[in-house]
Structures are given as structure tokens and as C-alpha cells.
């Protein structure tokens, strides 16, 4: 039970920290979101409860990203990707059909992570110019990454931990 409380608390706290520490909190949140199911469900959280907690805390992440970006030059792209994913999440929560998550992919988070990584590595004063010059490459990467990720996760329902374990002979 303690593991469940700690992980769920982190799933709420990390998105809020994006507002102050976008790079560190954004990447920490990404890592946690990648492994949370492997922690929460073996700890006793039912899969149906996990899905609701995961989607609600994901949406909190998207809201914090939107707030962070609102006064910046990337606000339009963030707003569009926010609406896109919000529609998908709402349709999923109402229907429980994961196909909606594929048709309305999470593009906001990888866009945000690419943007804040450029800012962190190349300088916040240069990030938007670099983003604009490399927008086609960035968007091809985001779309290829997220469409396969959404398919594997929500359509194929491949458990990556089990898959990697089998691949590594465990």
C-alpha cells in the first residue's frame, strides 16, 4: 500500500514541478509514467483503477505543460496537441476503448520534452530558433515515435517489461 501511495503522490507532484523545473521534472515524469504500471499493479492496484489514475495524472501533466508554455512562442503547438490528446483521453475514459488513444496520440509530451531538452542543452534564448529551423525533423521524429508507441501500448497491448524480459532471456 505504501508503494501505491508514494507512486501516485509522485504522479501528482512531478507534473506540478514542471512549472518550475521543466527539464528535470518533465523527464522524471516521463520515466515514472513509463514504469508506474509495473510498480502499481504488482503492488495490488487493479488494472481498471490504474488506468483511471494514469489518465487523470497524464492529463494533469498536459495541463502543467500547457500552463508552462502559455506565454512562450510554442504555445500554439502545445495548445493544439493538448486539445488533441484531451479529446482522446475523454473518449477513452467514457468508452474504455484504447483505440481512441491511438487516434488522438500524446504528441504534447514528446514535443515538450524535445523543446525543453533543446533549451537546456543549447540555451533558453536559442531554443525557439532551433526548434523552428528543425521543426520538420522534430515532428517526423515525434510522429514516428508516438504512433508506434501508442500502437504498441494501446492497440497491441504489448507489456514492454515482459517483452524486454523475453528478449533478454529472463
pLDDT in tens, 25-43: 999 999 999 999 989 999 9
Average confidence (pLDDT) over 112-132: 97
User: What is this structure's pTM?
Assistant: 0.90
The average confidence (pLDDT) of the chain is 93
- pLDDT higher than 70, residue 162: no
* pLDDT (0 to 100) of residue 161: 60
- pLDDT higher than 60, residue 164: no
Average confidence (pLDDT) over 139-168: 81
- pLDDT higher than 90, residue 91: yes
* Interval 92-114: pLDDT, tens: 999 999 999 999 999 999 999 99
Residue 142 burial by CB count (10 A; 0-12/13-18/19+): exposed, middle or buried? buried
The domain segmentation of the chain, as residue ranges, is: 2-159
The answer to whether 95 and 151 have CB atoms below 8 angstroms apart is: no
- pLDDT higher than 90, residue 155: no
The answer to whether 44 and 53 have CB atoms below 8 angstroms apart is: no
Average confidence (pLDDT) over 125-151: 96
* pLDDT (0 to 100) of residue 61: 98
* pLDDT (0 to 100) of residue 160: 56
How far from the centroid of its chain's Cα atoms is residue 157's Cα?
Answer: 17
User: Who's near 26: CB < 8 A, 6+ residues apart?
Assistant: 18, 65, 109, 112, 113, 116
Amino acid at each position: 500500500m505504501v508503494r501505491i501511495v508514494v507512486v501516485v503522490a509522485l504522479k501528482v507532484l512531478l507534473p506540478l514541478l514542471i512549472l518550475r523545473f521543466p527539464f528535470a521534472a518533465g523527464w522524471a515524469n516521463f520515466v515514472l509514467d513509463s514504469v508506474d504500471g509495473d510498480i502499481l499493479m504488482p503492488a495490488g492496484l487493479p488494472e481498471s483503477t490504474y488506468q483511471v489514475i494514469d489518465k487523470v495524472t497524464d492529463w494533469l501533466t498536459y495541463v502543467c505543460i500547457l500552463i508552462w508554455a502559455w506565454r512562450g512562442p510554442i504555445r500554439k503547438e502545445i495548445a493544439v496537441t493538448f486539445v488533441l490528446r484531451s479529446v482522446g483521453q475523454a473518449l477513452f475514459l467514457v468508452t474504455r476503448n484504447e483505440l481512441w488513444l491511438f487516434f488522438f496520440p500524446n504528441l504534447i509530451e514528446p514535443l515538450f520534452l524535445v523543446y525543453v531538452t533543446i533549451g537546456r542543452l543549447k540555451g533558453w534564448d536559442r531554443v525557439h530558433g532551433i526548434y523552428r529551423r528543425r521543426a520538420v525533423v522534430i515532428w517526423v521524429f515525434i510522429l514516428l515515435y508516438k504512433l508506434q508507441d501508442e500502437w504498441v501500448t494501446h492497440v497491441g497491448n504489448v507489456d514492454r517489461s515482459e517483452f524486454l524480459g523475453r528478449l533478454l532471456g529472463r
